[in-house]
Structure 1
Amino acid sequence: MLLLGIVLAFLYFSINPSNVDFLPKCPLYLTTGIYCPGCGSQRATHHLLNFNFLGVVHQNILYIFGLLILAYHSIIEGINFIFKKNIYNYIYHPKTPIVILIIVILFWVLRNIPYEPFNWLAPN
């Protein structure tokens, strides 16, 4: 599994998904022309691995939100494990999935409005 992750990271580091046709395309966008919440994530991964943080934001701002959630979770779990603490991880709060779902749905709707400033949320 780790080897697969390394191979995928190297693939997305070295190959820009905008320039090739063999990487998977978003089926929702291909069939309807509507951007899903994940549209632009492959290009965002390429930009992130090449330290182009502005490129990540231009492709999918929600990607940054997801990375922040993963970082928060990892830090809290790491602190609890290493220092034998019991810091509450708000990822496990019963309302957290609802809040995340609302954010994702709002992002999904807003990025498909073809007027400024909403079209800034669409992948470039």
Structure 2
Amino acid sequence: MRRVNADSQRVTPAPGSLPRRLAVPGGILAAVVGAFAYVGTVDPNEPGHYPACPLLRYTGLYCPGCGGLRSAYAVVHGDLGAALGANAVAVLGYAAFAALWTVWVVRSVRGRPTRVDPGPSLLWALGALLLVFTVVRNLPFGGWLHP
């Protein structure tokens, strides 16, 4: 919520203290850090720690998320090559989250609202990327995309 000062036509920050404006982004970051810390300590490469992907288990096909936990584990341990090898799309998702979260925090500090309103073309493009990734990783020549 922004207010316009009638005298100078300047936009002033939304009311509320800085800790209050940062509570939700901070809570989201705490949840993500907690999830990555758990995955970083409980190795998904060891069998029995996490449930198997149902699509892979029953059909033998890799879904777009297959290898995501191994990718997160590799990111936590600083092995970007292994993370990209496990699931390149997940690594892109981690980077996108970091960028969007940073924008969210900067806008919150400045008292400006954050609106996430992806247009239909962006959503279609992301869907197409996931579809192509899923199809290619399940074709014989896409073996380099297997987790």
The bucket for the TM-score relative to the shorter chain is: 0.7 to 0.9
Report matched runs for 1:37-48 at 5 Å: 37-48=64-75
Match of 1:54 among 67, 81, 85: 81
Cα–Cα, structure 1 residues 20 and 75, in superposed 2: closer, same or farther, change >3 Å?
Answer: same
Q: Match of 2:55, as an amino acid?
A: L
Once the two structures are TM-superposed, the CA of residue 84 in structure 1 deviates from its matched residue by 4.4
The 5 A counterparts of 1:72-111 are 72-84=99-111, 92-111=118-137
Written as runs of structure 1 = structure 2, the 5 A alignment for 1:20-31 is 20-31=47-58
Q: RMSD in angstroms over aligned alpha carbons? A: 2.6
Where do 5+ consecutive residues of structure 1 fail to align?
A: none
Partner of 2:146: 122
Distance 1:30 1:72, change over 3 A: same
Identity of aligned residues (%): 22
Q: What whole-Å deviation, never above 9, does each CA across 1:20-43 have from its counterpart, x for those lacking one?
A: 313111000000110000000111
Richer in helix (by share): 1
Distance 2:145 2:114 in 1: 34
Paired residues in the alignment total 119
Change (3 A) 1:70 1:10: closer
TM-score, normalization: structure 2? 0.69
Q: Tell me, yes or no, if structure 1 residue 70 matches structure 2 residue 97.
A: yes
- Paired with 1:94 and 1:32, the residues of 2 have a C-alpha distance of 31
